[in-house]
Structure 1
Amino acid sequence: MANMLISSLAAATLCLVSPAQAQTWQNQEPAAETTHRATLDRFVADYARDPMAEPTRFGIEVDGHRFHVEPIGNSFELRDGFGGHEFFYFTMNRETLNLLDQGVWNGLTAMGAATSADVTPLDILHTDGFEEPADYVGLTRRLIGHFWTRGIPELTNFGMAHTRVVHGAPATALYYDAGIRSAVYEVPAGLGREQAPTMQVPFPRMIIFIGGEAEGEMGENAFTASAGQMLFSPPDVPLTFWNKSEDENLSFVWIMWGEAAQ
């Protein structure tokens, strides 16, 4: 499956934070006796209590070890192997599973990509013969968000320690569904106009500034915006903005919606 795409502002490669640094800050390898199954059992048990759970069978592969999640009535069970089923499955390594388990990343952040060709820590693949259902995009987005986030209510951590670099800027995905995408971005100080692409997309966007100050252009109109303001970006209107400050990070929430925002 094409990797999940997160739209963003910046296009330059940054040295401030890297995926490896974000992992090192909080990633702690469990004791040797803790197996992949024990970790996945925690996710499955939590998902069984989730009011947003999808009654869908799917697979999980960690470092080549395969399991699948089987819906049973109003609950779920983790089983070994793929059982010959035709379905989609998550694939990752142990380090990524640790980061998900510890809440450093959520599933959508782990799948964040600038293009569908990017290799991401968490991905979705298909077994032979699997055919995507009509609601595949919405189904998988909801599953990624809810299965890989534990707790009731679900809390998503964001901030620099919970980001991955996507489109050149550290980002944390918030929530995806069919027709809606949202993320938090942290644009480092000094990342100016030269690194900011002009984006023109066929869907509306809200940019909610929560820290720092931005400078930019929408069409032929120049603007500045700062924490406590929301910028509305209409469809098909060119927009570019950048961090105005040399000393302070720029933080904003980006919300995209509509049929074209798939």
Structure 2
Amino acid sequence: MRAKTLLLASLAMLAVPASAYAQNNQRDAVNTISADEEARADAILREFAADYRNDPMAIDMIFGIKLGGAWWTVSVERKETPSPRGRLVDHAFGPHSVTLTRGMPVTPTWYFEIADLDVLELIASGKVNAGTASMQSFGSDKVGVETRDMPGFSSTSGDEADLYLALSHFFTKGKPEVTRFGRDTSLETHGAQATALHTMKGFRILYFSIGPEEVVNDDPRLEFGQMPNLFVVTSGRGTLYSDDGPIALEKGMSVFVAQFVKHRLANTGTEPLEGVLVLYGDNSDFGFGTSYPSYLQDLNQFHRTYPFAKPKPKEE
């Protein structure tokens, strides 16, 4: 899997007991698990697979899951039944065909490597979601949920789009899906605590909280991004240092930072500076050769020809 940047910087701490999850998110995946651990992991994954059968966001895909030396294969065939009237609100989504089988995928594909059973237990309990556990800044980061390619397979940007949807929806339950966020349930990332709220290829949404006197993107290597960022401030005060100088941040304002525009944030108040961050696109797509505006032009051309109004099904 190509190196990707899912957040502002590398992760450091999850605010749960250290026995449940290492404080330093730079952790190696276990090589083996016991028979009891494998049975528990299998039970958790089967619960996720059963719930995914009724998930309106499910799409066709095949991927692997690895924990220790144990493998599972997930195969999804989406079912969408159109309404005779052709109205989307009358469509039925599911039940999909979702199979979870023991063993490595027969045909090489991408897969999720879960560091250990504790990580999977935390995801199953809702204390941390899979998107948050996978956040990394550099390919060398070793995190709770890693994405990898099997030998003989090389992911494309489209494959990454599939895995982002699986990351956000396969490892969750319910309809709608709930994500809890706050300073006590987030991972720390270079001065900010963050929770991944939803991840898609086109945009990723997260909650952020910057404590008093803390600074985000203080490392010069992190001041610039390959795609736009939208900061929506919901509480606290701070300063965003940009190309045009400092901008005072306060509740009830948003700041759109275009690609390759400097953005370093500092909390200048006595309370946490908090809000929502929207990342447009995926850094790995815009690191070389293609800029975000070029991508938008190509995407807009696609929309000029895509038939969103699908032909109505023939009445029997």
TM-score, scaled relative to structure 2: 0.70
How much does 1:145 deviate? Answer: 0.8
Where does structure 1 lack aligned partners over 5 or more consecutive residues?
none
- 2:193 corresponds to 1:176: no
Indicate how the Cα distance of structure 1 residues 117 and 25 shifts in structure 2: closer, same or farther if over 3 A, else same.
closer
How much does 1:183 deviate? Answer: 1.5
Number of aligned residue pairs: 251
Does the residue aligned with 2:231 lie in a helix, a strand or coil?
A: strand
Does the residue aligned with 1:46 lie in a helix, a strand or coil?
A: helix
- 2:67 corresponds to 1:62: yes
> Once the two structures are superposed, what CA deviation does each residue of 1:82-128 show, in whole Å capped at 9, x if it has no partner?
15331211111101100110111111111101211100110122222
| Equivalent AA in structure 2 for residue 51 of structure 1 | P
> Once the two structures are superposed, what CA deviation does each residue of 1:21-58 show, in whole Å capped at 9, x if it has no partner?
4355988xxxx796211111110011111111122111
2: CA distance between counterparts of 1:62 and 1:201? Answer: 33
Q: CA RMSD in A?
A: 2.8
Corresponding position of 1:207: 231
2: CA distance between counterparts of 1:133 and 1:232? Answer: 28
Corresponding position of 2:112: 90
| Equivalent AA in structure 2 for residue 206 of structure 1 | L
Q: Which has the higher contact order (CA 8 A, sep 6+)?
A: 1
2: CA distance between counterparts of 1:3 and 1:261? Answer: 7
2: CA distance between counterparts of 1:82 and 1:194? Answer: 39
The 8 Å contact of residues 6 and 183 in structure 1, kept in 2 or not, is answered as no
Indicate how the Cα distance of structure 1 residues 48 and 255 shifts in structure 2: closer, same or farther if over 3 A, else same.
same
Does the residue aligned with 1:206 lie in a helix, a strand or coil?
A: strand
- 2:81 corresponds to 1:76: no
The 8 Å contact of residues 109 and 173 in structure 1, kept in 2 or not, is answered as yes
How much does 1:129 deviate? Answer: 1.7
Structure number with bigger Rg: 2
Corresponding position of 1:218: 242
- 2:134 corresponds to 1:111: yes
* Aligned residues with identical type, % of pairs: 24
1:53 corresponds, among 58, 64, 68, to 58
| Equivalent AA in structure 2 for residue 200 of structure 1 | F
- 2:44 corresponds to 1:22: no
Where does structure 2 lack aligned partners over 5 or more consecutive residues?
22-35, 79-95, 286-316
> Once the two structures are superposed, what CA deviation does each residue of 1:51-71 show, in whole Å capped at 9, x if it has no partner?
111221111112322111123
How much does 1:205 deviate? Answer: 1.9
Indicate how the Cα distance of structure 1 residues 85 and 196 shifts in structure 2: closer, same or farther if over 3 A, else same.
closer
2: CA distance between counterparts of 1:127 and 1:147? Answer: 20
Corresponding position of 1:153: 176
